[in-house]
Amino acid sequence: MQKEEEQDNETLISHLEALRETLLRCFTSLAVGLLPALFLAPKALDWLIKIIIADSNVMLNYFSPTEVFIIQIKTAVVIDIIICFPYIMKKIWDFVVPALYDNERKFIKSIVFLSTFLFNLGVAFCVFVILPLIIKFGISFATPNIQAVFGISNVVTLSLWMAVVFGLMFQMPLLTHALIKYGIVDYKTISDKRPYVVVILLIIAAILTPPDVLSQVLLFTPTYLLFELGLLFSRGCK
């Protein structure tokens, strides 16, 4: 009995050590990637602003000497996350793989590619579709007596946050498929609980977006459609 407890403790310690090493490598990759991201940030920031205000005929303003510099640092952090995301995903799945069977390992390898693709797709969808809509929505309230004056800090911070959120929420098909494939929930149960899924996604959208209905709907709608897509591909899983 004592030997079994010792073995369990050794196993737990080895798992914690592996988790520590995985997290350390992930944070190290982010630290290494931050330096080139800082050089890319100014051009990336100009590119982002041109896209989100392209058809809006609006200028962004800054109100303190260091405001743009701080925004460039925030931009560099997001670029760093995007660049390092495939490596981080690989390390996370490498931590999970030893506990899986061979067929599950093959599935995990495909997930790394699909997860990276979906993350980048979510970021691109947010930048090219969602953010211009939000800017136009804000400008629509302008009148001859009320003019829109947007601060660069508010707009870019919102844009960077929304881009990361969309990238993460676009993981929904993989999450749905994995839950069903590994028997955590069965297809019929999750299919019958659609109303609960809708409520949960609405709550998440409300938490992750600014306090306006448009942003919440724009995040909820593609996320729910991706949930349905994941459900569709999981129909044959047991």
The 3-class SS string of the chain reads CHHHHHHHHHHHHHHHHHHHHHHHHHHHHHHHHHHHHHHHHHHHHHHHHHHHCCCCCCCEECCCCCHHHHHHHHHHHHHHHHHHHHHHHHHHHHHHHHHCCHHHHHHHHHHHHHHHHHHHHHHHHHHHHHHHHHHHHHHCCCECCECCCEEHHHHHHHHHHHHHHHHHHCCHHHHHHHHHHCCCCCHHHHHHCHHHHHHHHHHHHHHHCCCCHHHHHHHHHHHHHHHHHHHHHCCCCC
The whole domain housing 146 covers: 2-170
Q: Does residue 133 belong to any structural domain of this protein?
A: yes
For residue 217, tell me if it sits in a domain: no
Q: Is residue 192 part of a domain?
A: no
Q: How many domains does the structure of the chain reveal?
A: 1
pTM for this model (two decimals): 0.77
- For residue 211, is it within any domain? no
Question: Could you list the pLDDT tens digit for every one of the 238 residues in the chain?
Answer: 544 555 555 566 777 787 788 888 889 999 998 989 999 999 999 998 888 887 777 788 888 888 999 999 999 998 998 888 888 877 877 776 665 556 556 666 667 778 888 888 999 999 888 888 888 888 888 888 888 888 888 888 888 888 888 988 888 888 887 777 767 777 788 888 888 888 888 888 888 877 778 888 888 888 888 888 888 877 765 5
Q: Which of 93, 223, 108, 114 is nearest to 170 (CA)?
A: 223
Which residue has tokens 């100009």?
Answer: 46
In a domain, 82, yes or no: yes
The interaxial angle of helices 152-169 and 131-139, nearest 10 deg, is: 140
The pLDDT of residue 82 is 85
Is residue 18 assigned to a domain? Answer: yes
**Residue-level pLDDT at 41:** 92
162 inside domain? yes
Please check whether residue 176 lies inside any domain of the structure.
no
